Structure 1
Amino acid sequence: MDYAIALPFGGPGVVDPEWVGEFARHAESCGFESLVAAEHSVMVSGTSSTYPYSPDGRLPVVPDCPVPDPLELLSFLAARTATIGLATGVLILPHHHPVVLAKRAATLDALSGGRLRLCVGVGWLREETEACGVDFATRGRRADEQVRVLRTLWSHDGPEGATHEGEFFRFERVLCRPRPRRATGIPLHFGGHSTAAARRAGRYGDGFQPLGVEGAELTRLAGVMRDEAERYGRDPDALELSLYRGLGELTAEEAAGLADLGVHRIVLQTGAGAEADLERHKDAMSACAARLFADRALPRRDVPGRDVPGRDVPGRATAR
């Protein structure tokens, strides 16, 4: 089991370089596997769209709160840390041109030593998607094609360049360099709560990060992912399953139970915006690490393609 830390969403701390840099360094020193940054390309005042992850259908932050671009934020934190993973959760794929996104993501992955993981989704906020110039009704088909474009550009080898002819994107003899540090490209996980999201994870992804689902529905969606992987000739056992939990709520016993159910990663949410006192966040991370990691020494793991002389690499936090 890996334990990731979700960066606080909203509040001035996420755009304060010293605040968010120290937050990230402390998470790394505690032994957490990765930092996870969420995305909203724009916030919308007076939206009629329903937020699917709260009982009242409202996003639990004010629309004028600062929400930095996740890749820019992770690039900044890559320079402030040494080994902790860098992940999006969730990057709204239809808002990005895939040729440009392929270059941005590969650059961050190369310069961070292969630390990037992309968790992507299709988005729920119609007005936001339309502000980005994208037809909300076609965002699912667009996302499917975008994934194919990313995979093509990251994997293509040879001087002749890659060619793609699709419904939304077309190019000929294109080369995207630098390439990601891993030969298999940047890991792509899919977030969401729908059957379509689970199918995308099985068909195209390296993992599934369902939001707002538990119990029988979670089991059903995980089964959909595995069935879709088998249908497309992929190994379902190679796909990761990540869940969200509260930083102060998860116990070692619950984590062990989730690991037994096949969960690979838990993304821990701080439960408070970045307006909270930094020391409070650091204390909460330290307490969580002590609670989850207390029964053993952290094993060490190497970051692909990266050597950090004289530095220990934070270990994978394995539930027992």
Structure 2
Amino acid sequence: MNNQEILDQIIQENEGKFGILCIDCLIVRTRFKELEEFVSKKEIEIPSDKQLTKLDYLDDIMIHYFKKMSENPDLREQYGDYLSLITDELLNDDNIKKYLSRFDFIAKHELIEAFADYCADMGISVYDTSFMEDDEFNTDLYLIKKKPFLRTEAVFVRTGSQMTKEQYKNTFYLLNEASKIATWIVFVTTPVGVYNIGLERLISDMEKLNVWFYVVDPVEQRVLGITKGKKSKDHEAELRDDYLKKVPKEPIRAPSRLSKISDYEFSESDSYNPKRYTMYEILPKAIALEREKSIIRKPKYKDIFRTLLVID
């Protein structure tokens, strides 16, 4: 098997699936010096007769660990697929792992803003409840859609840095309790949040709680719908009505009518099928480069006044 066939096989392992964390995107953001140090430390062979791009380095790293796993059945049993081993090795290196922060939001309100834009494009009014006093349910957002009938959604938003095992336990409890005050429950995090807890565990927990589960990716500027929630069986109309009285009078986003306001892509047809999602993603080099270019061409900064406006 030649090198190109090896690379094709690694990519084909997750063909037809969507990865939460793009490894190409991670490597593109890593410095050349850090990649050189990594391949040197791991004794990975690289061509000495040509100038390598960052994605060339990734190719050589993947080929190295493909051969290593192929020669060691224990590694295959431990990791299951080549990409999990490759990514584990990369993220065990502190110089590379620090770039994981690019797949997260610095501040929680930035993640809230990104998800609120998406909701407005979906025709939903968004209310910020994160600063609401005497909120025993500790929601971050409350979504309301009045037509054709009243539909309410309690939303919990967590950045990757907030997704420690201890904090996630508390979030799990809050998600369960919030079913009393809303028709639907929604959980929103980032690729780093998923990495910290584990995709399989999150899918299992969200399905158990009947929660709509979304991942907002700031690097690839996309919203991924992972699980589809179900109507709450514990929903109490009286509790909901009491809660609605506490919700701010004005939404931070109202349904967008004239044009799409979110900078993030969302595909309904690719969403809400957990079996189609995997933790890591590797793309053919040409596609990876084109995707990076398309992201760079998008506006770097949002309108700083957007948060002061209610779109009517």
Q: Quickly name the TM-score band, shorter chain normalised.
A: under 0.3
With the length of structure 2 as denominator, give the TM-score of the two structures: 0.26
Higher-helix-fraction structure? 2
